[in-house]
């Protein structure tokens, strides 16, 4: 599902104007990005947690040049779904 499809789904369910829904979705995404860039985790009860995970420093390889590259330790964004979220997905989505 794309961002445009999410906006259309919200418009259909709520009857709110599309422009207002687009602005709200953009504001939510921007707030999440800004907060995580500051090092903050975001907790959405019943949905999940947007959190930062630390990746350790390591040595990478550039196989085309046959050289080693040191990759420094860094933080990456991650999402951990809430228990209710996981239960609903597991009960609705069937393995093919």
> Token digits for 56?
């350790």
pLDDT of residue 28: 96
As a whole number of angstroms, the distance between CA 14 and CA 87 comes to 25
pLDDT of residue 96: 78
As a whole number of angstroms, the distance between CA 10 and CA 5 comes to 9
Other CB atoms within a 10 A radius of the CB of residue 21 amount to 19
Query: What pLDDT tens digit does each residue of the chain (96 aa) get?
Result: 999 999 999 999 999 999 999 999 999 999 999 999 999 999 999 999 999 999 999 999 988 999 999 999 999 999 999 999 999 999 998 887
């Amino acid at each position: 599902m794309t961002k445009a499809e999410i906006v259309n789904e919200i418009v259909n369910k709520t009857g709110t104007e599309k422009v207002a829904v687009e602005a709200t979705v953009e504001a939510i995404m921007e707030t999440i990005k800004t907060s995580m860039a500051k090092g903050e985790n975001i907790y959405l009860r019943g949905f999940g947690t947007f959190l930062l995970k630390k990746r350790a420093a390591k040595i990478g390889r550039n196989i085309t040049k046959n050289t080693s590259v040191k990759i420094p330790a860094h933080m990456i964004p991650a999402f951990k779904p809430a228990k209710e979220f996981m239960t609903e997905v597991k009960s609705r989505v069937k393995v093919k």
